[in-house]
């Protein structure tokens, strides 16, 4: 069954970036007629400088080449990051090995040399809690946790690359218990039984008089233990809007009630319990928007990106350690390339909240392959797609000429000869969890502090 742009978008808007996936049939009650499919090579309609005024591509590439630094040495990139407490690292596709590999390599170096201690992912808080428990204490099997948590629109994280990262983090903590690393999920589309139980167990121990009320407020929102992430998300979306809003109000009341309690002597445990209750309330809030209306989707996306930013800042302040934040380019950026659907993105919220303590890194690529859902197939199976050289007029055409090797550029200190080019919107590939996904109009310099360009990419290895 073909899906409309809004229908295809809701689940992805809940979980990933820059691509439409789809509503379950039960939640797709009010959809208009199906939108046309774009061929994989369809040119973007985004603006670019007129040929008669555009600087020579060769000239711009030559200027940028003088500032490019090969990624074979991470020293320059570390200096670009500076003393930022949160570093957002994007990706131009959700399904390519090289973006994962580069971020993990950078993270390991930042842990070793610069005091970073958390890898934060565009994944649900619930998943992060469970994986962090494994990373810190060895609890559970990471492969099983990932299989259980990375479902629905989050399937793209269920990769060998992330399993390898989790295993490295656990091994690091065994070898270096005095300086542990953490895994965090900052997103808010699913809260599982484990998360509800963390809150009610704390209430039962510290505020037993409130347990009956918390049980009542959580009863309808707490998913059954037998329900999968995918089943739970679909069931929630299938509920009428009025019911979803009642559930959101209940979990919000529980949060407010817990926030009013005195923390006692164990302030840290109280802080974590409140944050877990906040994560439950955030999930309720995600489903309280009217997805049948474009403005409802846009409001939800603004809410979601704000929540992700707030969760990341809370975590960084709570742990007191530096964070590498991994998400799509569209979330770590300062500017939205699709304001109608993404009015304000996580990177902009982070900059508002902590200023220059947030630094971001965008990714581009020349050609190669990625895994994604096939949006031209009614069953939407996960497939491998390959794209060739970038199209004329795109930013990648010039970036490909800068160097044949992987490289980084500090856009904040780019030469004046390149500033105009970097400040103008040009088509840039921005591929989420599904394909086709047309380029977005991106102003590189206003969107990112640092840019990493990879000439070739290959598919991620799904488990």
d(Cα 87, Cα 119) in Å, to the nearest integer? 10
Residue numbers in the chain where pLDDT is lower than 50: 1-53
Determine the pLDDT at residue 379.
Answer: 82
Determine the pLDDT at residue 55.
Answer: 60
Residues 103/328, Cβ–Cβ less than 8 Å:
no
Beta strands at 86-89 and 322-326: parallel, antiparallel or unpaired: parallel
Beta strands at 358-374 and 450-457: parallel, antiparallel or unpaired: parallel
CB neighbourhood size of 33 (10 A)? 6
Query: Among positive and negative, which fits the CA dihedral 144, 145, 148, 152?
Result: negative
Determine the pLDDT at residue 30.
Answer: 31
Beta strands at 69-70 and 322-326: parallel, antiparallel or unpaired: unpaired
Determine the pLDDT at residue 54.
Answer: 54
Burial level of 168, CB count in 10 A (0-12/13-18/19+)? Answer: middle
* pLDDT tens by residue, 158-208: 999 999 999 999 999 999 999 999 999 999 999 999 999 999 999 999 999
User: CB under 8 Å to 145, separation ≥6 — which residues?
Assistant: 127, 130, 131, 134
Tokens standing for 321?
């350690």
Q: Which residues pair with 451 in a beta bridge?
A: 362, 409
């Amino acid at each position: 069954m073909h899906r409309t742009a809004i229908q295809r978008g809701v689940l992805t808007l809940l979980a990933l970036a820059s691509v439409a996936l789809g509503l379950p049939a039960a939640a797709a009650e009010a959809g208009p007629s199906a939108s046309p499919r774009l061929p994989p090579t369809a040119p973007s309609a985004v603006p670019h400088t007129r040929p008669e005024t555009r600087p020579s591509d060769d000239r711009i590439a030559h200027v940028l080449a003088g500032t490019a630094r090969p990624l074979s040495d991470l020293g320059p990139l570390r200096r670009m990051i500076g003393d930022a407490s949160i570093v957002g690292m994007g990706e131009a596709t959700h399904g390519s090995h090289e973006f994962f590999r580069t971020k993990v390599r950078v993270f390991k170096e930042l842990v070793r040399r610069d005091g970073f201690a958390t890898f934060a992912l565009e994944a649900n808080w619930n998943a992060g809690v469970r994986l962090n428990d494994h990373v810190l204490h060895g609890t559970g099997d990471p492969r099983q946790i990932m299989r259980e948590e990375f479902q629905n629109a989050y399937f793209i994280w269920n990769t060998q690359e992330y399993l390898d990262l989790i295993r490295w983090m656990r091994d690091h903590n065994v070898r270096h218990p005095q300086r542990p690393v953490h895994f965090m999920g900052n997103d808010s589309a699913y809260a599982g039984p484990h998360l509800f139980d963390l809150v009610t167990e704390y209430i039962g121990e510290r505020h037993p008089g409130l347990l009956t009320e918390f049980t009542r407020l959580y009863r309808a929102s707490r998913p059954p233990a037998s329900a999968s992430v995918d089943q739970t998300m679909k069931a929630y979306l299938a509920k009428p809007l009025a019911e979803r809003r009642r559930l959101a109000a209940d979990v919000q009341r529980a949060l407010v009630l817990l926030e009013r309690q005195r923390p006692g002597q164990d302030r840290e445990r109280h802080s974590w319990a409140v944050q877990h209750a906040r994560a439950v309330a955030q999930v309720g809030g995600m489903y309280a928007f009217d997805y049948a209306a474009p403005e409802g989707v846009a409001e939800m996306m603004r809410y979601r990106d704000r929540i992700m930013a707030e969760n990341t800042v809370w975590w960084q302040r709570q742990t007191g350690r530096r964070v590498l934040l991994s998400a799509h380019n569209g979330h770590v950026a300062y500017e939205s390339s699709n304001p109608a659907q993404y009015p304000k993105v996580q990177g902009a919220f982070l900059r508002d909240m902590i200023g220059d303590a947030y630094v971001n890194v965008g990714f581009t690529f020349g050609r190669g392959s990625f895994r994604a859902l096939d949006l031209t197939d009614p069953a939407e199976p996960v497939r491998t797609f390959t794209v060739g050289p970038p199209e004329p007029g795109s930013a990648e055409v010039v970036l490909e000429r800068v160097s044949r090797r992987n490289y980084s550029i500090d856009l904040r200190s780019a030469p004046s000869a390149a500033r105009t080019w970097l400040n103008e919107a040009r088509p840039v590939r921005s591929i989420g969890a599904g394909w086709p996904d047309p380029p977005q109009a991106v102003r590189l310099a206003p969107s990112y502090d640092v840019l990493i360009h990879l000439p070739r990419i290959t598919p991620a290895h799904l488990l």
